[in-house]
Amino acid sequence: MRVGIVGLGIAGLRAAALLEAAGAEVSLFEARDRVGGRLHTVDKGYGVVYEAGGEWIDADHHRVLALLHEFNLGPDPRVGWPKRLCWRGKQTREDLMWNDALEDDLRVEAAAREMCRDLRQPPWENTAFEDLDNRRLGDFLREHTQSERGLWWVMAKYRSDEGEDPDRVGLLGWLVGFMHYLGREGEEMSAFRIPGGAGALCQQMALALGAEPNLNSPLRRVRQGPDGVELIFEHGKEKVDAVILTLPPPALERVVFEPALSTAKRCAIEASEMGRVVKICWQFREAWWRGDEWSGSMQCDGPIQQTWDGSMGTAPILSAYVCGDDSVIWQNERNPVLAGLREVTRYWPEAQELYVRGWMHDWTRDPYAMGGFAHLAPGYVLEHMKHIAPPDGRIHFAGEHTASWVGFIEGALESAERVVGEIVN
- Give the CATH number, domain containing residue 152: 1.10.405.10
The Cα 369–Cα 247 span in angstroms is: 8
pLDDT given at position 79: 82
Backbone angles phi, psi at 210, to 5 degrees: -75, -30
Same domain, yes or no, for 248 and 352? Answer: no
* Amino acid (1-letter code) at residue 300: C
pLDDT at 119 (0 to 100): 97
Residue type, 74: G
Per-residue pLDDT of 334-355, as tens digits, reads 999 999 999 999 989 999 999 9
For residue 362, give the H/E element and its range. strand 355-362
pLDDT of residue 187: 82
In 3-state terms, the chain is what percent helix, strand and coil (to 5)? 40, 25, 35
The answer to whether position 91 is within a domain reads no
Tell me the HSE value of 196 on the side-chain side, using a 13 A CA sphere.
11
CB 5 within 8 A of CB 246: yes
The string of pLDDT tens digits covering residues 54-110 is: 999 999 999 999 999 999 999 999 887 789 999 999 999 999 999 999 999 999 999
- Reported as a single tens digit per residue, the pLDDT across 353-412 is 999 999 999 999 999 999 999 999 999 999 999 999 999 999 999 999 999 999 999 999
Predicted local distance difference test score (pLDDT) of residue 186: 79
* Distance (Å, whole) CA 114 – CA 135: 17
Statement to judge: residues 354 and 375 lie in one domain: no
CA distance 50 to 288: 17
Q: How many other C-beta atoms can be found within 10 angstroms of the C-beta atom of residue 127?
A: 9
Q: Against a cut of 0.95, is the pTM above it? A: yes
Q: Is the pLDDT of residue 310 over 90?
A: yes
- Asked whether residue 288 falls in the same domain as residue 308, the answer is yes
State which residues form the domain around 141.
Answer: 96-181
Q: Side by side, which strands form the sheet with 2-6?
A: 213-214, 25-29, 2-6, 242-245, 395-397
pLDDT tens-digit series, residues 149-191: 999 999 999 999 999 999 999 999 999 999 999 998 878 889 9
> In 10-126, which ranges are continuous DSSP H helix?
10-21, 62-70, 99-116
User: Is 232 part of any domain?
Assistant: yes
- Amino acid letter, 217: S
pLDDT of residue 81: 75
46 and 160 co-located in one domain = no
Question: Domain count of the chain?
Answer: 3
Is the residue at 157 inside a domain?
yes
In this predicted structure, what is the pLDDT of residue 389?
98
Q: Are 354 and 381 part of one and the same domain? A: no
pLDDT at 27: 98
b/e for 164-202, b at 16 or more Cβ within 10 A?
A: bbbbbbbbbbbbbbbbbbeeeeeebbbbbbbebbbbbbb
Strands (E), 207-339: 213-214, 219-225, 228-233, 236-240, 242-245, 256-258, 273-274, 277-284, 298-300, 306-309, 317-323
Question: Are 16 and 47 part of one and the same domain?
Answer: no
Within-domain flag for 86: no
In degrees and rounded to multiples of 5, residue 389 shows phi and psi of -95, -35
Domain for residue 191, yes or no?
no
Are 283 and 358 contained in the same domain? yes
CATH of the domain at 8: 3.50.50.60
CA 196 – CA 193 distance, rounded (Å):
9
Q: Are 349 and 282 in the same domain?
A: yes
**Structural domain contains residue 75:** yes
Same domain, 72 and 23: no
Give percent of the chain with pLDDT exceeding 90.
95
